[in-house]
Amino acid sequence: MGLHVFVHANRNLGQAQTCVDSITANGGSAEALQLDIATPEAANRLEDLATSGAIQVVVYCVGGQIDKPFAAMEFDDWKTVIDLNLTNFYTAVRPLIMPMLRSRWGRIIALSSLTAVRGNRGQTNYAAAKGGFLPLVKSLTQEYGSRGITANVVAPGLIDTAETTGLENYQDLVKMTPARRAGTAEEVAALVGFLASDRAGFISGQQISIDGGCS
């Protein structure tokens, strides 16, 4: 697509730089960007970046869980997960809307979860946070769809990563997936890349599951 990519990191700048190195090694253009997205300073910095050059594609990929049964969940457990996953969308995306409007082109893609579709024991806070994305992108579509901006949700199921393969019940999760395998990061990236392209200009306000048939 020829886009310059900002790879965001909160604390792990080294991991973001590894991603940048992979992009540049394959002929792309990228740089690492470290900021705490939960702070007002982050919004100011994003506005500065957008002023220097429109950021026209946003992939909001934030995740964090505190799993407990609902009856045992403290208010801080609830608020922390809601703020991390959902509230920070406001801080990350709102400053970039006006530049998209001025260029009459933009793509907003939020990464959700199978939990948002099916629910899961011990994850009421996480399900509520990720589940908030669908009505959010539908509303953004109503507000800005006529200006060339699309907003969609991608909801992955079991994806083969270092984090998931280390789970004790990994093989059980594979067996519960109709495809009888985990998805790959490349498969998720291909879907996100399509939604970020001109070819997906008539797709907006949707949640697309990529979960091997689980939903």
pLDDT tens sequence across 64-96: 999 999 999 999 999 999 999 999 999 999 999
126 part of the active site: yes
Predicted confidence (pLDDT) per residue in 4-50, tens digit = 999 998 888 999 999 999 999 999 999 999 989 888 788 888 888 87
Domain ranges of the chain: 35-210
Block residue for tokens 């407990």: 68
pLDDT level of residue 158 (50, 70, 90 thresholds): very high
Choose the catalytic residue: 90, 126, 144, 170.
Answer: 126
Block residue for tokens 């594979």: 174
Q: Rounded to an integer, what distance in angstroms lies between the CA atom of residue 38 and that of residue 68?
A: 23
Q: Rounded to an integer, what distance in angstroms lies between the CA atom of residue 165 and that of residue 181?
A: 12
Do 67 and 60 contact (CB within 8 A), yes or no?
Answer: no
Mapped onto helix, strand or coil, the DSSP state of residue 32 is: strand
Do 103 and 135 contact (CB within 8 A), yes or no?
Answer: no
pLDDT at 1 over 80: no
pLDDT at 165 over 90: no
Q: Confirm or reject CATH 3.40.50.720 for domain 35-210, answering yes or no.
A: yes
pLDDT at 157: 97
- Return phi, psi of residue 179, to 5°: -75, -10
Average pLDDT over residues 123-143: 98
